[in-house]
Structure 1
Amino acid sequence: MIRAVPSMVGRYALRLVIMLIVLVAMLVLAPGLLSLAGTFSFLEGFSLLGLVALGLGVTVIAGELDLSAGSMAALAAVLAVHVAPLGLVPTLLLVTFFGFVAGAMQGWLIGRLAINSLVFTLATLIGFGGLAWVVSGNRAIVLKDLSVTDPLLSSIGVFSPSSLLALIAFVVVGIVLAFARVGREIYAIGGARAEAIAAGVDAPRALSVSFAVSGACAALAGSLAALRSGSASPDSFATILIAAVIAVLIGGVGLSGGRGTVVNIAIGVFVASVVSAAMFARGEATSVAELVMGVVLVLILAAEYFASRWGRKRAQKALRRSRNSPAMTTA
């Protein structure tokens, strides 16, 4: 256990260093982030983006990409406002279950029919978005009884119910990916699908689970946002997909699949959320935060490239030294 700690730190060293650099830079630009209000605001942003990025990251680990996550969040927000009279907990459970089932169906069809997930989820992105407009009556809708959502406005220190739910989701998904059989199958089909299928891995099931997680997380994020604000609009999550993809990539989840963990996703979301919170505190437009996140992503990719290049050169030098050693010469 003790030996695993340095190994884990080394595994995420580059990301942790970048996270620290970004945090220090944003604190210089917006010192108020360290206040209770600033930390609370940061965690609220983390909860929404984190849930969407968490689900999206699982599909990326599986070698796919769920483009419908933003539309699912918007549809879930509209549905949550409609069923809110049932109560807070039933609403969250029903809407999250809806997202889980819709995502599972997507994943199963993608796996069973061998459809490109980009094409399929582009279609469902349009479909879920259109359904959100239909269900909302082509307008923004508001809760009639705001008292239903009062518990979401409470806080425990710097944590709200939304941020606590997001953290719980990260822990649960992390445990499933690391220790459950289906988690290993998700990594297997993401890293080497043909070999995994030949070894007996049920690809449709693994994809169904990964997209179910994405759908459930997006639905939970959308319903929490709608219930917390007391309103929902069909176009309220138009940009969250791009932000989630950037967060996943910043964290180090490989688009080729089979690489990355929940820790990677959390680091990426942390960086993106800190940037957004700092820009908001400074009164900057959302586009400025997106620009900064894009720059951070480019810098990370450049750092990875040079680190990989340096590592290859070290390995080549070590190989040459071993070949030229006296022992090898004598042999």
Structure 2
Amino acid sequence: MASPRKSQPMSTATLLRIALLIALVVAFALWNPAFISGRNIYALTQSFALLGLVALGLSLTMIAGEFDLSVGSMVAVGGLLTLVAGGSNLVHGMGVALAFAVVIGAANAFVVNRFNVSSLVVTVGSMMALSGFAFWLAGGKVISTDNFDLGFALDNPILTVLSWRGAITLAAFLLAGLFMRHTLMGRDIRVIGSKRLVAAASGAKVGLSLYIVFIVSALCAALAGSLLSMSLASAAATTGNNLMLQAVSAAIVGGVALSGGAGSPLHVLIGSLILTVMNNGLSLMGMGATGILFANGLVLMGIVLLDGQLGAWMSERFAASRARHSA
């Protein structure tokens, strides 16, 4: 009889990221007890619902060795299409926004795959085009709706600290994690990110993998913008201006390599939570946007060092310590 499959132990880098997240929560709670109040945790999960969903989609393109710079503009377009095309029926508007995202994601993948063009170049063009489209949809103003019912339902607290928007984001992470871990296509996405030529020679479906990651990236961004517009009952062309950089930071903090082939949705979840907790806690301390950006940069540089030679040295020390204790 086959022996049961043993679970893989967490890497030192993952454990340190979890420790950093716990340390941030403890430090902010000691500094200001209001940090762990139900109201603030609810606000924190609302912020995570937006950043986490965008970072999840973007991270899949990064794992595949590509990049989607258009996610911020897609958030704005997704929110505007939901209100403009939906009118009184916001669910219909969301359907239009998601269908539009599928078209844009497929177009990005087609150009990258068919003409072998860098995804950075392709998605810069998509970003500019989507930004222009967003300003055309908005007509130079903030679009609003009188339909507040769906927004109230999405923001209705679950167990006091989580909204349905947050629950949707967590469900997306769960589905993406299962897909990447337990499907052949998930394996192909990871392999083409590290060794594309070898993957293609071994029969990996490179083209289909690229279509999947770019479509999912666009869908996640459009869904995030759509849900946000329903929650706020308004949308603007400038909504996603800073989201792309935050999403990239969350993915890198979570351990996704810019070179591709490394990372997982679970790690991106941890990275998104680290940035969300830090931004929320620093805001409660009265720090402005400039200071928060500076702190994000410091954490990002620290994580890059952790994933480099410093992290390798720490892993060796940790392994040696475990070996001594075992002996």
CA distance in 2, matches of 1:148, 1:16: 35
CA distance in 1, matches of 2:13, 2:5: 15
Which residue of the other structure, out of 117, 129, 132, is the alignment partner of 1:130? Answer: 132
CA contact (8 A) 1:243 1:290 kept: no
Q: Which residue of 2 aligns with 1:279?
A: 282
Identity of aligned residues (%): 30
CA distance in 1, matches of 2:156, 2:318: 54
CA distance in 2, matches of 1:315, 1:141: 56
CA distance in 2, matches of 1:302, 1:126: 33
Aligned partner letter, 1:247: A
Q: How far does the alpha carbon of each residue in 1:43-88 deviate from its partner, in whole angstroms, 9 at most, with x for none?
A: 1011100000000100000001100000000111111111333534
CA distance in 2, matches of 1:135, 1:88: 16
Q: How far does the alpha carbon of each residue in 1:250-282 deviate from its partner, in whole angstroms, 9 at most, with x for none?
A: 111111101011111001000010012112323
Q: Which residue of 1 aligns with 2:22?
A: 20
Which residue of the other structure, out of 46, 56, 59, is the alignment partner of 1:57? Answer: 59
Aligned partner letter, 2:41: T
Q: Which residue of 1 aligns with 2:325?
A: none
Q: Which residue of 1 aligns with 2:152?
A: 150
CA distance in 2, matches of 1:160, 1:106: 32
Q: Which residue of 1 aligns with 2:182?
A: 179
Q: Which residue of 2 aligns with 1:140?
A: 142
SS in 1 for 2:261: coil
Q: How far does the alpha carbon of each residue in 1:221-260 deviate from its partner, in whole angstroms, 9 at most, with x for none?
A: 1111111111111012110111111111111111110101
Q: Which residue of 1 aligns with 2:313?
A: 309
CA contact (8 A) 2:13 2:306 kept: no
Q: Which residue of 2 aligns with 1:85?
A: 87
Post-superposition shift, 1:311?
4.9
Which residue of the other structure, out of 207, 224, 228, is the alignment partner of 1:225? Answer: 228
Q: How far does the alpha carbon of each residue in 1:141-172 deviate from its partner, in whole angstroms, 9 at most, with x for none?
A: 11133334331231212111110110111111
More displaced stretch, 11-20 vs 196-205: 11-20
SS in 2 for 1:154: coil
Report matched runs for 1:114-129 at 5 Å.
114-129=116-131
TM-score (norm 1): 0.89
SS in 1 for 2:87: helix
CA contact (8 A) 2:101 2:219 kept: yes
Q: How far does the alpha carbon of each residue in 1:91-118 deviate from its partner, in whole angstroms, 9 at most, with x for none?
A: 3333223213321221232112111011
- Give ranges in structure 1 of 5+ residues lacking alignment: 317-331
- Give ranges in structure 2 of 5+ residues lacking alignment: 321-327
Relative to 1, partners in 2 of residues 1:29 and 1:125: Cα closer, same or farther, differing over 3 Å?
farther
More displaced stretch, 154-163 vs 295-304: 295-304
SS in 1 for 2:298: helix
2:234 is equivalent to residue 243 of structure 1: no
| Higher fraction of helix | 1
Aligned partner letter, 2:95: L
CA contact (8 A) 1:87 1:148 kept: no
More displaced stretch, 117-126 vs 31-40: 31-40
CA distance in 2, matches of 1:148, 1:194: 47
Which residue of the other structure, out of 163, 168, 177, is the alignment partner of 2:166? Answer: 163
CA distance in 1, matches of 2:152, 2:317: 59
